Structure 1
């Protein structure tokens, strides 16, 4: 991904998360979520965001010096993103296969009953996406490449989704505010040598 496209990714990723959050709320106005156009559109928006986060994480790794800690956290974030893509992919397939919300529940139960799926796609690995994101931004704040409030906003974004998923749009706005200076820093700041932070 070119530098200009990567800078755009820092802005597009939070906006796509915002779109997902808003669509999710609208989808639930009738008392249930999915299947249907809103379910599909919202999930596709979030998958697109996840795909953008991967090059973002690896750019943040380079900015942090590319050492062992930065590499580990970028790897964790990428594994978490892959798990979430799998989770949302399952959601999309279930939505396409189901006539109504009740039918979706039956299919989700069948998917979760497959050994290892809950662990890999729902209960453990997805959390690495959030851990990697916060850890990378915190490393940059410690190195004073970004302001100290940047990881605070990222943490607020991540926390709000766990408090109430209807707060995802608000969290996405916090993420956008934190990612704007990161986009600038990724373009302007020299990449630090790995040896200094290994």
Structure 2
């Protein structure tokens, strides 16, 4: 049996993440709509597993966008790296939020029980801004920042950041519109997956 080269595995993950990440969010939003009570049960559990998977996959997406900007030098390179760090901080916060929601759904017997657990957890000092209200926004800020910078550098079309803005605004308008926003993210990011994977492969060959 032969082992697949590490660089090949990383390239495949990068390419897959650009399509799988938004599709997982789409699945989360669609399953969520099938559960009008938003209470504990299979729909809550499965939807949040999809959410966590999708958000984690945005880690390779952000790193892939960073690699697309690697030819940049000086301030542009620093800007891309800062955007990536900002986005990854948001990924960590949204992941924590998803894990909390998942655990609450598994522990509670009904929606009232979930509400009590949420009240207890969210009363912890500083948890709300870190996990729910402020830091999670950095995920969208980092993603948009990177795509705008790449568009300014003409490494992606202007349609890419426009679709990211529309997707973000759609999801912010209503959680019920998460599938629409995720689909917009998918259209924006899918064409970039191959380029990001190629950039990773090229960087690996130079190492």
2 CA distance for matches of 1:79 and 1:190? Answer: 22
Change in Cα spacing, 1:184 to 1:50, as seen in structure 2 (3 Å) is same
Cα deviation, residue 184, structure 1: 2.6
1:129 to 139, 144, 154: 139
Q: 1:174 aligns with which of 181, 184, 189?
A: 184
Say whether 1:42 aligns with 2:52: no
Runs of 4+ in 1 over 4 A off after TM superposition: 188-193
TM-score, structure 2 length as denominator?
0.87
CA distance in 2, matches of 1:4, 1:61: 17
Q: Does 1:61 align with 2:61?
A: no
- Unpaired runs of 5+ residues, structure 2, are 1-8
Tell me by how many angstroms 1:42 deviates.
0.4
Cα displacement (A) at 1:36: 0.6
Counterpart Cα distance in 2 of 1:92 and 1:191: 36
Do 2:171 and 2:177's aligned partners in 1 also have CA atoms closer than 8 Å? yes
1:3 aligned partner: 11
Q: How far apart, CA to CA, are the structure 2 residues paired with 1:185 and 1:154?
A: 18
Q: Quick one: structure 1 residues 108 and 177, their matched pair in 2 at CA, closer, same or farther if it must change by over 3 Å?
A: same
Structure-1 separation of matches of 2:10 and 2:201: 15
- Shift in Å at residue 51 of structure 1? 1.0
Please point out which of 18, 26, 36 is paired with 2:34.
26
Once superposed, what is the RMSD of the aligned Cα atoms? 1.8
| Structure 1 residue 119: Cα displacement | 1.5
Alignment correspondent of 2:6 = none
Whole-angstrom distance in 1 between the partners of 2:40 and 2:156: 41
CA distance in 2, matches of 1:146, 1:189: 14
Report the count of equivalent residues: 190
TM-score by length of 1: 0.91
Contact 2:29 2:178 in 1 (8 A): yes
Distance 1:139 1:192, change over 3 A: farther
1:49-88 per-residue CA deviation (whole Å, 9 max, x = no partner) reads: 1111111111211211272111111001101110111111
2:4 aligns with none
| Alpha-carbon distance, 1:189 to partner | 5.6
Q: Contact 2:166–2:181 (CA<8 Å) still a contact in 1? A: yes
| Residue 38 (structure 1) shift | 0.4
Any unmatched runs of 5+ in structure 1?
194-198
Query: CA shift at 1:188, angstroms?
Result: 4.4
